[in-house]
């Protein structure tokens, strides 16, 4: 009888903590230039998610590539993010772009055009992966935003 009660308790705990739905990717927002210098430009953005599950998980953002004016300039480097249970949450996407990568060949022409129009096209393309209890889901990201340049 004691074993049956323990087994029932474990099964009830597993069922109540099950991943019933995958977290919902809501989008990428607040893309902006955080700081700039002669050596580098730092761009920040936030990926928005909603987790309807009673348990969290982990998000991995190793495959996001940043394009500026349709030119690949950097890859987002972020630590693994712990997903909270039953909550809306954001993960920061910070990218540091060396200015010398913007000033090469075709990039230079597009940057000069951006300076004249005071508009910079920033695009995030890649994947964010969610993992929990052996379950995995990959979210495809393709977000473009035009940032106004203040001189």
Q: What is the pLDDT of residue 53?
A: 79
Has residue 5 been placed in a domain?
A: no
Has residue 71 been placed in a domain?
A: yes
Its pTM stands at 0.65
Instruction: Scan for tokens 């920033």, then name that residue.
Output: 122
Residue 34 sits in a domain whose CATH number is 2.60.40.10
Has residue 129 been placed in a domain?
A: yes
Q: Shortest CA distance to 36 belongs to which of 132, 92, 115? A: 115
Has residue 135 been placed in a domain?
A: yes
Domain count, the chain: 1
Q: Shortest CA distance to 130 belongs to which of 61, 77, 79, 44? A: 61
- pLDDT tops 70 at residue 5: no
Q: Would you give the distance in Å from CA 138 to the centre of its chain?
A: 12
User: pLDDT category, 66, cuts 50, 70, 90?
Assistant: confident
Which residue would you say has higher pLDDT here, 127 or 19?
Answer: 127
Has residue 8 been placed in a domain?
A: no
Assess contact for 64 and 126: CB atoms under 8 A. yes
Q: Are strands 135-148 and 40-51 parallel, antiparallel or unpaired?
A: unpaired
Range of the domain at 31: 21-148
Which residue would you say has higher pLDDT here, 4 or 48?
Answer: 48
Tens of pLDDT, residues 136-146? 888 888 888 88
Least-confidence region, from 33-37, 46-50, 99-103, 120-124: 99-103
Has residue 3 been placed in a domain?
A: no
């Amino acid at each position: 009888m004691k074993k049956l009660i323990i087994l029932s308790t474990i099964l009830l705990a597993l069922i109540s903590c099950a991943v019933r739905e995958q977290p919902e990717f809501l989008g990428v927002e607040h893309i902006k230039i955080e700081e700039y210098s002669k050596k580098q430009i730092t761009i920040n953005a936030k990926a928005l998610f909603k987790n309807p599950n009673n348990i969290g998980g982990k998000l991995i953002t190793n495959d996001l590539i940043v394009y500026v004016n349709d030119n690949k300039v950097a890859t987002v480097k972020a630590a693994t993010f712990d997903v909270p249970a039953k909550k809306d949450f954001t993960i920061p996407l910070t990218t540091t772009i060396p200015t010398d990568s913007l000033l090469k060949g075709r990039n230079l022409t597009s940057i000069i055009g951006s300076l004249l129009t005071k508009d910079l096209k920033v695009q995030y393309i890649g994947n964010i992966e969610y993992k929990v209890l052996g379950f995995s889901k990959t979210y495809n990201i393709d977000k473009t935003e035009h940032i106004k340049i203040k001189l």
